[in-house]
């Protein structure tokens, strides 16, 4: 290590140049507080002349050091943070680096499964979230979630009560099968709110490696039982390794 | 309804009721010297000789041949008819056979199920005092219901098993209506062709005099225990299990019409339409009872005065353990229509309402007062222990567990 430093110092001394601190700038990507209606987001950044490598962080996931200056991410609905910083030739890391926080809200009047795309280890249980994406005011919900039973096994389901209407009584029935789960939801005395919310989380046990698609089918109804059209029903995919 | 005379010269004598008259049959003896047969009917006694004036049939006959004829006189209840058969031979000698025929009463209703009160109206059973004919069965009844001036007619199927008929309306009778079944006398007959005696005077008078009208009050759709309301008891004891096991006996959809007068067109599947139909009527029952669904935040969760379970009789407490003094993490949904108590966790605590698990609501004396649902056993904020005192982190199975409440442990039963 000591020899390396000496070599770098000699090199810089020979060229007569100075190694400054790295600085990174996000060239392309949603600005802070932006609402993005697309789940696929491309970030482009650039560093100053002293920056040799970059590291980016999406939410809490940190990348390896790379010389790439762009990344395209497929993100779930919801708030995300992105930051990128660089380091220079002698390994000095940028202290104040650019970061942005933005809301991916590509689905309106629909429902989705999250994660949209993710990888999991075959040794670990994983969870799929069923989310409401600003649906119209409605009283009844019906969902069918299907999966490949050769890849995963249903383990359990938990409903999130945090977004229920006040003074309303939720009525929930779940029918689970080997390759699907059917969910019936109602809110006696009130409607489901017109807002993004997590309806439930479904836990699975991986069985075999490979891709497993989670297909979401659903419908919502008003208080008279009339179907309300939905714009989007988005499933998800888990890659088991 | 067969009457056979013993020691008869004629063979196989029978008198059978046929279309309110008597069908008389016999077979002549195997004798070449037989000339004729004379049949005399009287009400007071049997005939003494073939010359009496009440002859109803007189014909030359061949040996060993079956004959039958219909007596032209209508039968009347309560009268015994005495038939005398004179078998006359070439030499003028005759033999005498007799058959006594009591006039049977026309078919009448012995029992009706359901008897009355509130009903769901899926199937009606009528027991008669005679085996019934299956012919014309679809025309034998009219089925309709009404509220105010709004009348709804139903299709219906009839099943006849001996002396019992079953009528099943389609669709299910309209919720909250008055249902009427009119049994049509002229079409509803016993196996002997006798028309249904609807007014019970033992005389066949046919439609419309003998038509019979029976009325029932249809309960609210989804009121399976027939207490007049759809409530959490119907949900917990009937509907939920029917949905989980796909048992179509408790269908409540698809529906048509406006609440509460919903008509259920059963399709044999427990699906979303049944769920919606049930919940709509449940909401209607809540409004009709004048109840509000109230949430009660706080500590502990108590029933207030005026509830079915008074304040002093029992309580439910679920505490967070960290910090120890924190208030109850649950809020209850006060639901006064039954003993059932629905518990949700406080939204701020981010606890999930679990899939069906139940908790018995206990009084201070340990009496079971009702059931409830509560937060997930996987939650970090709720500590649940099994009977051996081990912390339970997995989804609960059927059995007995304990839940920590302050310094006490409360026993609970989990029923899936």
- Average pLDDT over all residues of chain A: 85
Report whether pLDDT(B146) > 90: yes
The answer to whether B321 contacts chain A (CB < 8 Å) is no
Report whether pLDDT(A140) > 60: yes
Exposure string of B146-165, with b = 16+ CB inside 10 Å and e = fewer, is eeeeeebebebebebeebbb
CATH 2.60.40.10 in chain A, residues? 2-104
**How would you list the strands of the sheet with B109-113, edge to edge?**
B109-113, B124-128, B164-170, B155-161
Rg, C-alpha atoms of chain B? 35
> Confidence band (pLDDT; 50, 70, 90) for B388?
low
Q: Are strands A34-36 and A99-104 parallel, antiparallel or unpaired?
A: parallel
Q: Which residues of chain B are within 8 Å of residue A221 when distances are taken between CB atoms?
A: 272, 276
Q: How far is the alpha carbon of A166 from chain B, nearest alpha carbon, in Å?
A: 7
Quick one: average pLDDT of B369-378?
38
**How would you list the strands of the sheet with B408-414, edge to edge?**
B384-386, B399-405, B408-414
Domain count within chain B: 4
Report whether pLDDT(B361) > 60: no
Q: How far is the alpha carbon of A75 from chain B, nearest alpha carbon, in Å?
A: 24
Q: Which residues of chain B are within 8 Å of residue A225 when distances are taken between CB atoms?
A: 253, 255, 273, 276-277, 280
Report whether pLDDT(B50) > 60: yes
> Confidence band (pLDDT; 50, 70, 90) for B28?
very high
pLDDT of res. A205:
93
- CA gap B150, A183 in Å, rounded: 36
Class of domain A110-240: mainly beta
State the CATH number of the domain containing residue B203: 2.60.40.1220
Using the Cα atoms of residue B409, residue B410, residue B415 and residue B416 in order, give the sign of their dihedral.
negative
Quote the percentage of chain A above a pLDDT of 90: 41
Vertex B348 angle, CA B347 and B350, to 5°: 70
Q: B292 in helix, strand or coil?
A: coil
Residue B380: DSSP 8-state = T
B4, part of any domain? no
- CA gap A215, A145 in Å, rounded: 6
B168, part of any domain? yes
Residues B342 and B268 in one domain: no
Residues B184 and B236 in one domain: no
Q: Which residues of chain B are within 8 Å of residue A170 when distances are taken between CB atoms?
A: 344, 353
Residues B272 and B160 in one domain: no
Cα distances (angstroms) measured from residue A102 to each of A80, A109, A195: 6, 20, 17
Q: Which residues of chain B are within 8 Å of residue A139 when distances are taken between CB atoms?
A: 279
Flag if B354 and A158 touch (Cβ within 8 Å): yes
Per-residue pLDDT tens over the stretch B209-258: 889 999 999 999 999 989 888 877 788 778 888 998 899 999 998 999 99
Domain covering A2-104: architecture: Sandwich (2.60)
pLDDT of res. A43:
93
Vertex B109 angle, CA B108 and B110, to 5°: 115
Q: Return the number of other C-beta atoms located less than 10 Å from residue A20's C-beta.
A: 12
Q: What is the pTM of this model?
A: 0.66
Longest CA pairwise span in chain A (Å)? 82
Identity of the residue in B275, B294, B355 whose CB atom sits nearest the CB atom of A186: B275
Per-residue pLDDT tens over the stretch B253-274: 899 999 899 999 999 999 999 9
B183, part of any domain? yes
Chain A's closest residue to B345, CA to CA, is A161
pLDDT of res. B334:
36
pLDDT of res. A163:
58
- CA gap A179, A202 in Å, rounded: 13
Chain B's closest residue to A187, CA to CA, is B279
pLDDT of res. A4:
54
- Average pLDDT over all residues of chain B: 72
Q: How far is the alpha carbon of B178 from chain A, nearest alpha carbon, in Å?
A: 23
The CA dihedral of B216, B218, B223, B224, to the nearest 10 degrees, is 40
pLDDT of res. A8:
52
B2, part of any domain? no
The answer to whether A163 contacts chain B (CB < 8 Å) is yes
Quick one: average pLDDT of A185-193?
82
One DSSP character per residue, A69-97 reads -EEEEE--SEEEEEEEEEEETT-PBPSS-
Per-residue pLDDT tens over the stretch A148-163: 999 999 987 776 655 5
Q: How far is the alpha carbon of A204 from chain B, nearest alpha carbon, in Å?
A: 13
Q: Which of B61, B81, B102 is the last residue before a domain boundary?
A: B102
Identity of the residue in B293, B353, B356 whose CB atom sits nearest the CB atom of A189: B293
Quick one: average pLDDT of A227-231?
91
Flag if B293 and A142 touch (Cβ within 8 Å): no
Residues B342 and B370 in one domain: yes
pLDDT of res. A146:
96
Contacts of A237 (CB under 8 A, 6+ apart): A116, A117, A118, A211, A212, A213, A214
Which of A63-72, A172-181, A189-198, B302-311 is the least confident region? Answer: B302-311
> Confidence band (pLDDT; 50, 70, 90) for B387?
low
If you count residue pairs, one on A and one on B, with CB atoms under 8 Å apart, how many are there? 90
Mutate to test the interface with B, among A177, A184, A192, A197 (most CBs of B within 10 A): A184
CATH 2.60.40.680 in chain A, residues? 110-240
- Greater confidence (A149 vs B333) lies with A149
State the CATH number of the domain containing residue B27: 2.60.40.10
- How many Cα neighbours within 13 Å face the side chain of B319? 17
Quick one: average pLDDT of B46-75?
88
- CA gap B266, B234 in Å, rounded: 18
Residues B95 and B130 in one domain: no
Q: Which of B102, B127, B159 is the last residue before a domain boundary?
A: B102
Q: Which residues of chain A are within 8 Å of residue B276 when distances are taken between CB atoms?
A: 140, 186, 221, 225
pLDDT of res. B11:
85
Q: How far is the alpha carbon of B170 from chain A, nearest alpha carbon, in Å?
A: 21
Q: How far is the alpha carbon of B350 from chain A, nearest alpha carbon, in Å?
A: 6
Contacts of B353 (CB under 8 A, 6+ apart): A158, A159, A160, A161, A170, A172, B344, B345, B373, B374, B375, B376
- How many Cα neighbours within 13 Å face the side chain of B347? 12
Q: Are strands B178-183 and B164-170 parallel, antiparallel or unpaired?
A: unpaired
Residues B271 and B311 in one domain: no
Residue B20: DSSP 8-state = T
- CA gap B272, B258 in Å, rounded: 18
Q: Which residues of chain B are within 8 Å of residue A166 when distances are taken between CB atoms?
A: 295
State ipTM. 0.75
Quote the percentage of chain B above a pLDDT of 90: 29
Residues B285 and B298 in one domain: no
The answer to whether A169 contacts chain B (CB < 8 Å) is yes
Report whether pLDDT(A13) > 70: no
Q: Which of B70, B102, B134 is the last residue before a domain boundary?
A: B102
Flag if B352 and A159 touch (Cβ within 8 Å): yes
Q: Which residues of chain A are within 8 Å of residue B344 when distances are taken between CB atoms?
A: 161, 164, 170
Flag if B279 and A186 touch (Cβ within 8 Å): yes
Residues B249 and B187 in one domain: no
- CA gap A186, A221 in Å, rounded: 10
Length in residues, chain A: 241
- CA gap B303, B317 in Å, rounded: 12
Residues B300 and B408 in one domain: yes
Per-residue pLDDT tens over the stretch B69-110: 998 887 766 678 889 999 999 988 889 999 988 776 788 888
Identity of the residue in B253, B292, B347 whose CB atom sits nearest the CB atom of A161: B347
> Confidence band (pLDDT; 50, 70, 90) for B393?
low
Residues B78 and B29 in one domain: yes
Which of A85-99, B24-38, B382-396, B401-415 is the least confident region? Answer: B401-415
pLDDT of res. B369:
43
- CA gap B222, A186 in Å, rounded: 15
Flag if A201 and B378 touch (Cβ within 8 Å): no
Residue A9: DSSP 8-state = H
Residues B85 and B114 in one domain: no
Identity of the residue in B282, B352, B378 whose CB atom sits nearest the CB atom of A188: B282
Residues B356 and B378 in one domain: yes
- CA gap B370, B333 in Å, rounded: 14
Q: How far is the alpha carbon of B197 from chain A, nearest alpha carbon, in Å?
A: 46
B72, part of any domain? yes
Beta-bridged to residue B384, according to DSSP, are: B403
Flag if A170 and B277 touch (Cβ within 8 Å): no
> Confidence band (pLDDT; 50, 70, 90) for A61?
confident
pLDDT of res. B385:
57
pLDDT of res. B136:
65
B3, part of any domain? no
- CA gap B309, A95 in Å, rounded: 64
Chain B's closest residue to A168, CA to CA, is B293
Quick one: average pLDDT of B150-178?
91
> Confidence band (pLDDT; 50, 70, 90) for A85?
very high
Report whether pLDDT(A165) > 70: no
* Helix H or strand E segment including A10: helix A2-15
pLDDT of res. B233:
74
One DSSP character per residue, B251-285 reads ---SEESSTTS-EE---S--SHHHHHHHHHHHHHH
Q: How far is the alpha carbon of B372 from chain A, nearest alpha carbon, in Å?
A: 13
End-to-end Cα spacing for chain A? 37
Quick one: average pLDDT of A162-183?
77
Query: What is the domain range of residue B392?
Result: 294-414
The answer to whether B338 contacts chain A (CB < 8 Å) is no
The answer to whether A157 contacts chain B (CB < 8 Å) is yes
Q: Which residues of chain A are within 8 Å of residue B272 when distances are taken between CB atoms?
A: 140, 142, 184, 219, 221
């Amino acid at each position: 290590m000591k020899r390396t430093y000496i070599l770098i110092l000699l090199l810089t001394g020979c060229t007569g140049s100075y190694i400054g601190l790295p600085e990174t700038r996000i060239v392309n990507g949603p600005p802070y507080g932006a609402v993005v209606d697309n789940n696929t987001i491309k970030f482009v950044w650039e560093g100053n002349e002293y920056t040799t490598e970059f590291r980016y962080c999406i939410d809490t996931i940190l990348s390896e050091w790379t010389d790439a200056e762009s990344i395209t991410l497929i993100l779930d609905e919801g708030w995300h943070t992105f930051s990128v910083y660089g380091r220079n030739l002698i390994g000095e890391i940028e202290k104040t680096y650019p970061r942005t926080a933005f809301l991916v809200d590509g689905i309106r009047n629909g429902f989705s499964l999250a994660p949209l795309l993710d990888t999991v280890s075959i040794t670990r249980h994983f969870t799929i979230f069923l989310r409401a994406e600003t649906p119209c005011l409605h009283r009844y919900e019906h969902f069918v979630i299907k999966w490949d039973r050769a890849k995963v096994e249903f383990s359990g389901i938990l409903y999130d009560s945090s977004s229920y209407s006040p003074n309303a009584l939720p009525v929930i029935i779940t029918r689970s099968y080997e390759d699907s789960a059917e969910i019936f939801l109602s809110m006696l005395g009130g409607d489901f709110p017109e807002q993004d919310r997590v309806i439930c989380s479904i836990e699975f046990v991986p069985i075999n490696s490979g891709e497993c698609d989670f297909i979401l089918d659903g419908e919502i109804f008003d208080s008279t039982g009339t179907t309300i059209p939905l714009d989007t029903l988005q499933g998800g995919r888990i890659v088991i390794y | 309804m067969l009457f056979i005379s013993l020691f008869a010269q004629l063979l196989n004598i029978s008198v059978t009721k046929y279309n309110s008259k008597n069908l008389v049959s016999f077979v002549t003896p195997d004798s070449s010297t037989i000339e004729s047969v004379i049949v005399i009917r009287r009400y007071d006694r049997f005939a003494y000789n073939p010359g009496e004036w009440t002859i109803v049939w007189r014909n030359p006959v061949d040996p060993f041949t079956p004959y039958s004829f219909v007596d032209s006189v209508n039968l009347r209840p309560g009268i015994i008819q005495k038939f005398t058969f004179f078998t006359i031979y070439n030499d003028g000698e005759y033999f005498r056979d007799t058959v006594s025929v009591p006039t049977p009463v026309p078919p009448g209703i012995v029992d009706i199920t359901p008897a009355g009160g509130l009903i769901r109206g899926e199937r009606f059973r009528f027991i008669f005092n005679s085996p019934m004919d299956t012919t014309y069965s679809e025309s034998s009844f009219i089925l309709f219901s009404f509220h105010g001036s709004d009348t709804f007619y139903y299709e219906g199927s009839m099943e006849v098993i001996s002396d019992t008929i079953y009528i099943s309306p389609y669709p299910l009778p309209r919720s909250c209506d008055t249902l009427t079944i009119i049994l049509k006398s002229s079409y509803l007959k016993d196996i002997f062709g006798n028309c249904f005696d609807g007014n019970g005077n033992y005389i066949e008078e046919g439609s419309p005099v003998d038509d019979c009208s029976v009325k029932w009050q249809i309960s609210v759709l989804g009121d399976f225990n027939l207490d007049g309301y759809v409530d959490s008891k119907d949900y917990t004891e009937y509907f939920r299990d029917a949905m989980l096991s796909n048992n179509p006996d408790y269908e409540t959809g698809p529906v048509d019409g406006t609440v509460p007068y919903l008509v259920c067109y059963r399709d044999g599947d427990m699906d979303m339409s049944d769920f919606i139909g049930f919940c709509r009527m449940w909401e209607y029952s809540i409004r009709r009872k004048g109840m509000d669904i109230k949430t009660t935040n706080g500590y502990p969760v108590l029933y207030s005065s005026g509830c079915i379970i008074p304040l002093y009789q029992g309580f439910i407490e679920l505490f967070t353990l960290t910090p120890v003094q924190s208030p109850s993490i649950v809020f209850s949904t006060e639901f006064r229509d039954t003993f059932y108590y629905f518990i949700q966790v406080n939204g701020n605590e981010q606890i999930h309402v679990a899939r069906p698990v139940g908790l018995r609501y206990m009084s201070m004396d340990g009496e079971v007062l009702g059931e409830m649902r509560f937060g997930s056993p996987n939650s970090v904020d709720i500590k649940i222990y099994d009977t051996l005192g081990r912390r339970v982190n997995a989804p609960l199975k059927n059995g007995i567990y304990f839940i920590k409440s302050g310094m006490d442990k409360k026993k609970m039963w989990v029923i899936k």
